[in-house]
């Protein structure tokens, strides 16, 4: 059982790193797009929605890794 828990924890930690990286990259893209002289509002809105979704997913994974901590 312990090996299963360690494997599951490693999977959650990997997923957390992936989500955080995507969120950071998306944040940089939103920043670049919004600073441009002409920015696509539809793309910007989609990116911001994706960022919010990623933030929710990150919070969920964090809760799975440490369920005793209030998120």
| Two structure tokens written together for 52 | 């919010």
The candidate with the shortest Cα–Cα distance to 12, out of 53, 68, 67, 50, is: 67
C-alpha angle 1/56/6, rounded to 5°? 15
> Under DSSP, is residue 68 helix (H, G, I), strand (E, B) or coil?
coil
pLDDT, one tens digit per residue, over 13-27 is 999 999 999 999 999
Share of the chain above pLDDT 90, in %: 72
pLDDT given at position 1: 67
Structural domain spans, the chain? 2-65
Q: Tens-of-pLDDT digits for all 71 residues of the chain? A: 678 699 999 999 999 999 999 999 999 999 999 988 887 899 999 999 999 999 999 999 999 998 875 55
pLDDT given at position 4: 65
Read off φ and ψ for residue 40, nearest 5 degrees: -80, 110
């Amino acid at each position: 059982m312990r090996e299963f828990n360690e494997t599951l924890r490693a999977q959650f930690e990997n997923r957390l790193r992936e989500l955080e990286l995507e969120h950071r990259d998306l944040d940089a893209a939103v920043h670049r797009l919004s600073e441009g002289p002409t920015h696509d509002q539809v793309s910007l809105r989609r990116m911001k929605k994706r960022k919010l979704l990623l933030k929710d997913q990150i919070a969920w994974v964090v809760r799975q890794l440490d369920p005793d901590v209030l998120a």
